[in-house]
Each structure stands twice: as structure tokens, then as C-alpha cells.
Structure 1
Amino acid sequence: MKAAILLCLAFGAVLGQIPSPCNSPPQWEGREVRMDYSQKYEERRRLFYDQTNLRTRTIAEVEINSTREFYDVISLFKERKMYSLNMRTKTCNVTNIEPDRAFHYRGVHPDARFEGILSLGAAGFPGENIQVEVFSANETNDFYTGIVTSPGCIPVNNIHISQKYGYEHSDYFDITVGITDPQAFVPPTNFCDRSHVDMKTAVIFLSVVGAVFSQVPTPCESPRQWQARERVAEFGKNFEEYHKVYYDGSSGRERNIAEIEDGSDREFFDILSLFNENKRYMINMKTRQCNVSSINRPFRHRGVPPNAQFTNAFTLGSVALPGQGLSVQSFIANVTFGTFHEEYFGLVTSPGCVPINNYYYNPSEQTKSVVAYYDLTVGISDPMIFVPPPECM
């Protein structure tokens, strides 16, 4: 899996020389969407980060009417102490941080090596494209890869993989450099008092609102045809792969060509899906054998679905540093086609509506998929890309 991440992220980098690791801000606060693939777990939370003193504080964004537990957690890695407040039951728990649990660097790891350059958003949309750099590092029993803005080195997302804790993925939004509350990492004596909980809950609900609008925006219209690189990860199947994707929303067509891992014994496929014709052509890229089948699900809108609802507005990267942030909007939708049902959550640039991330959840199959897009260009460069390959005729 690590080889796939690095091979695909490094692919496409254009460099005169290999850059040395940049220095991410050591202290900042923002919002985080954290996904634990091995635990099939996802959480949105407020994050206070202090790399200098190896401290973090995470405050979960409470979901109204949810039966889940939500926590306010202070982690002090120098002291190896964790203070966890259950925001529903108002109970506290103080534990030792396990000896093999390392501090997670959210920016560029001190021992990182450069892997490649990518872009988020789309070329040709002024103010809706930022350049990012990719770095990776190996720790004891842990592997890290992270994406930061260039040249500001502001965290955008990162992945930590370990044998014990599995695969953890975080995306970061609305980052401001520095810590506004000097007491953020101090476990107060009234950490479990209701007054403290109510104050923090208020902060959480204010952060969920995020932006004030005179009226709720209507769904924007994403470009109908584009091509990009994508990273697909599926929670329920422990699957991750990188593709070149060609998307035609006007005619219900897409083509996904896997990026092959050198030395891997896995199978990789070139898949052409023609939804209007209910045909899928799947070529094994090693054997060149083709399989033609029917399609048993509706066409997925990679941009904003027609029935989507606006949920929020964010900044990917920094809200304060010029050229180091990308304005995005989020939308949700339910897709039903016969017995097929899927829930959608997506991020797109604003106002161009260019796809950044899509999240899909299938309740009946209990699967979650995350798709991220890089180096997107509007339009299709090859007019023959949706023609079935000769191996399938």
C-alpha cells in the first residue's frame, strides 16, 4: 500500500532538483476530518496543534440527534497523558498514552523526503487552484505521507499507517497559524463540570456554522467533462488505488485507468463504463483480457448531484496566507435507483464548483468510499477515450 501511495504521488512531478522538506507552522488551529479506515470510523472535529511541545487538543463537532459518543481530548505527549471528556455523559477519563503511540506530525515530518508536486482544483479557474507538495517518512512501526501547500507548507491532509493502529487519514480546513487560547492545552480543574462542557459545546456549534449567508446557496453546477488523477479508498474492502479518470457527465460515461505499482502481484484494470448503454468494459492491464458486463448501479455524479443540498463553506489550507488557501463548499445528497441507495458528501471549489473530494456511503452494504481528485483539467483531451478498446471487440 505504501508503495502505491508514493509511486502515484511522485508520478507527474516536474522538478529541476528535489526540494528539501519545508517547515510547517509548529502551532496552529483549524478543523479536521479524520477517517480511520481499519476501524470504519469518521469524525469531524476542532483541532489545536502544538508541534513544539508535542500537544494536541481535539473537540468533536457534535451531530444533533446522533447516538454516538463525542469527546474533547487533550493529549500531552511529553507527559504521556491523555485527558478525555465524554461530551454526552459529562464524564472524564485520564489515561497514560501508550508507549508505542507516537506524536503524529500534521505538517511535514522532521525526517520527511520529498515525493512530488500536485495541484488541487482546476487550471484555468483564477483563484481556484493551489499547488501542493507531497512528503513521506518512516517512523518506528509507523509510516507517514502528507500533503502541504506550496510554498507556505500549510497542512492539507496526511496519512499515518501502522501495524497496531491501522490506516488513519486526516483532511484539514480553515487553518490559522498560532493558538488563540493560551489555556487550550491546560487540563482545567473543572474539566468535567457542566459549565465547561457547555462552553466548549457552544464553540463547537459555532464552528459548525462556519459561515454566515443571507440565504442558503443553491447547488452549483460542476464542469460536465474533465480529466484528472484520483485516489479511491474503500473502508469496507480495505482497498486503495490511484487512477487516471476521464469523466463525461453529459453522456454518462467515465474511464478509470489504474496506475500500476511496480513489483506488485495485484491485478490492475482499465475500466470503461457507458451508463447510457448499460455496458462496462474491464481490461486486465497485465493479461490484456477483457470482460464485458452490465452495470448494476446508477451513474455517479463526480461533481455536485442535481438534488444536493448545501451544508457549509470552508478554506482548504490557510485562511490568512495569500495563495495558500482554497475556498470550497460542501454538499450532501441521497441517490436512489431501484433498490440501490447511496449517501453523498462532496467538496468543490467556490465558485467554480470543481470537484476536490467525494465521500460515498452505502447503508445496505455498510461501505464507505473516499475519492480525491488532483491535477484536474476541464475537457477531454482524447476524443477516442470512451471508445471500447480493441481487446473488447
Structure 2
Amino acid sequence: MRALVLLVCLSVGCLAQRPRKCTSPPLLTGSFSVSTQSERLMAFGKYSYDALGKRIRLREIGSYNNQTFHFDALLLYRQGVMYKINYSNRTCCKKPLGVDFHPLEIPQNASLLGQAVLGSSSGPAQGVLVNTWAGELLLKRGAAKYMSTVTEFGCIPVSTLFHTSGNGWVVTSFFNNVIGLVDPQLLIPPPFCKDAQLEEEDGEEPVTFFSLF
């Protein structure tokens, strides 16, 4: 009986612990959707994320300013380059990547907004416990507000709201996440990119939620 009481007390104590800021797994594969408050951008895509090698692969399809677009890019932060890949005509544009790599994590200056269950807490495996954090980041173009939701166990990204004076609110939702790299080859430039020459930066930013961080 004493053992049962102790077990219950330990369980309650674990549940009562305050959520802690966390970092997502270094290797992730999944899908996402992204849309802007102004309705200028709406896209769906898949991503491969490697925080160890500082590499990201994004494949998106969407609409920007009422124009349909396809976007396939490999971002290699250690090399400071981004490959825009077109498999239909087997071409590749190589551009400088003049931004730092930021891992998927809850910043240390974030404040906890609350904890909730997505789905239902009525029975086992019917819901997912998540934490929502908010804060402000100082970017080159000014301050930006964010609100990020991650799972309590595993720190898997669920959604992110990001606000800047230029873009307003940008909402990103993550789903079908898998820990690990489902296809590591996606983080290696395809053979037809081998001879691509580095082009001058044209001021265009990647159409991706990662460019917001």
C-alpha cells in the first residue's frame, strides 16, 4: 500500500513540474503548411532537417500573390550556399546563403504561455500534451514576435506564429513528423548540380518558414 501511495505521489510530482525550454531532435523529417495574415502566401511542403550538419531540404508547392510556385531548395549553412533545384529540366542554381543556421528550439528568453492537450485527455493515446511559448527576437530588420508550440515529450514542433512589421503574422503548422532522416540523399546536391556556378545574390529570400528565424 505504501508503495502504491509513493508511486501516485511521484506521478503527481512529475505532472506538476513546470515545462522547460527545449531543443527539437537534431534530425527530423516531416511536412508543413505555411500561410500569411495578408493571404499573399499559402504553401504546403516537406522538409528534411539536419542540425548536426546544418543542412535543410525544402520542397514546397503553393501560391504567392495569386501565382502558383514550386520551390525545391537545399540549404547548406556550413558552406554558405543554397541550391535551387529543378528536376524537370535538371538544372540547378547555386546562390550564397548569407544567414546563420538557427536550430529548431525554444529560445532561452521565451515565456511560457500555457500547457494544453491536443485532442482528448479522456483516455490513453487520445491526446498530445503540448507547451506554448512566446517571446521576441531581434533581427537585422527589426524586432519580431513569435509564439511556438511544441510537444512536452520530445520537443517536436507543432506550430509557430511569427510576426514582423513587413509580413504581419505568418503561421506554420508541422505534421507527419519523423525523428531521423527518412532519405539522407535529399541533403546531398544531385549530380547535375556539380558544375553549378555561384551566382550573385539578387535580394530574393527563400520562400520558406525557415527564412523567418
TM-score by length of 2: 0.70
How far apart, in 2, do the equivalents of 1:252 and 1:331 lie? 24
Is the partner of 1:266 in helix, strand or coil? strand
Alpha-carbon deviation of 1:267? 2.8
Query: Unpaired runs of 5+ in structure 1?
Result: 1-212
Count of aligned pairs between the two proteins: 177
How far apart, in 2, do the equivalents of 1:275 and 1:307 lie? 24
Could you tell me whether the CA contact under 8 Å between 1:314 and 1:327 is conserved in 2?
yes
Alignment of 1:168-207 (within 5 A): none
Equivalent of 1:320 in 105, 122, 135: 122
Structure 2 equivalent of residue 373 of structure 1: 174
Q: Highest Rg: 1 or 2?
A: 1
How far apart, in 2, do the equivalents of 1:286 and 1:340 lie? 38
Is the partner of 1:385 in helix, strand or coil? helix
Moved more, 300-309 or 265-274: 300-309
Could you tell me whether the CA contact under 8 Å between 2:49 and 2:56 is conserved in 1?
yes
Query: Unpaired runs of 5+ in structure 2?
Result: 1-14, 195-213
Structure 1 equivalent of residue 150 of structure 2: 348
Structure 2 equivalent of residue 247 of structure 1: 49
Report % sequence identity: 25
Alpha-carbon deviation of 1:254? 0.8
Alpha-carbon deviation of 1:381? 2.7
Change (3 A) 1:269 1:311: same
Change (3 A) 1:240 1:288: farther
What is the letter of the counterpart of residue 91 of structure 2? Q
How far apart, in 2, do the equivalents of 1:387 and 1:309 lie? 37
How far apart, in 2, do the equivalents of 1:281 and 1:219 lie? 33
Task: Name the Cα RMSD after superposition.
Answer: 2.8
Alpha-carbon deviation of 1:223? 0.9
Alignment of 1:160-309 (within 5 A): 216-236=18-38, 238-258=40-60, 266-309=68-111
Residue 311, structure 1, aligned to residue 106, structure 2: no
Is the partner of 2:115 in helix, strand or coil? strand
Change (3 A) 1:274 1:285: same
Larger RCO, structure (CA 8 Å, separation 6 or more) = 2
What is the letter of the counterpart of residue 375 of structure 1? N
Could you tell me whether the CA contact under 8 Å between 2:118 and 2:128 is conserved in 1?
yes
* CA deviation map 1:285-330 (0-9, x unaligned): 5444322222354434434235433221011122324432211011
Could you tell me whether the CA contact under 8 Å between 1:360 and 1:370 is conserved in 2?
yes
Change (3 A) 1:245 1:336: same
* CA deviation map 1:251-279 (0-9, x unaligned): 33211112589xxx833121111223321
What is the letter of the counterpart of residue 185 of structure 2? M
Change (3 A) 1:295 1:337: farther
How far apart, in 1, do the equivalents of 2:51 and 2:36 lie? 23
Is the partner of 1:384 in helix, strand or coil? helix
Change (3 A) 1:366 1:269: closer
Structure 2 equivalent of residue 392 of structure 1: 193
